[in-house]
Amino acid sequence: MNQDDSASLTVDVDRLLFLVQSNPAIFNSSMKEYYNVDVISNIWTDIGKELNVPGNICKSKWNNLRNSYVRYLRDLKKMPSGSVSKKKKWHLADAMEFLLPWTG
């Protein structure tokens, strides 16, 4: 699959987040499976099958979502309390709250 093919694939973000949350080995570094490349690869393959998208595309989308969430949280912390210009809540913030214990 070339870059043009992968760009045309769409991932159901809500289902992706549900499937990731159902597989904590992807994000929970306290689990021994987190460090097992084969286990993680199999999880991404299964998630890809579930979403009818290659696993590597799902993994890439997850990495982008996780990075965006961490950036959103970091920006929130930088804002002064009681700030007049309140930052607009990121549309996936609630759906990704399960990551809070692992975002430092």
Cβ–Cβ under 8 Å, residues 20 and 96 = no
What are the b/e assignments for 80-89, b being 16+ CB within 10 Å?
Answer: eeeeeeeeee
The pLDDT score that the predictor gives to residue 91 is: 94
The DSSP output letter for 25 is G
The DSSP output letter for 54 is -
pLDDT in tens, 12-59: 999 999 999 999 999 999 999 999 999 999 999 999 999 999 999 999
Question: Residue 65: enclosing H or E segment and its boundaries?
Answer: helix 55-78
Q: Please check the confidence at residue 2 and state whether its pLDDT lies above 70.
A: no
Structural domain tally of the chain?
Answer: 1
Cα 70 to Cα 22: distance, rounded to the nearest angstrom: 20
The residue count of the chain comes to 104
Task: Record the tokens describing residue 74, joined without a space.
Answer: 């970091």
Range of the domain at 72: 3-102
The pLDDT score that the predictor gives to residue 104 is: 66
pLDDT in tens, 56-77: 999 999 999 999 999 999 988 8
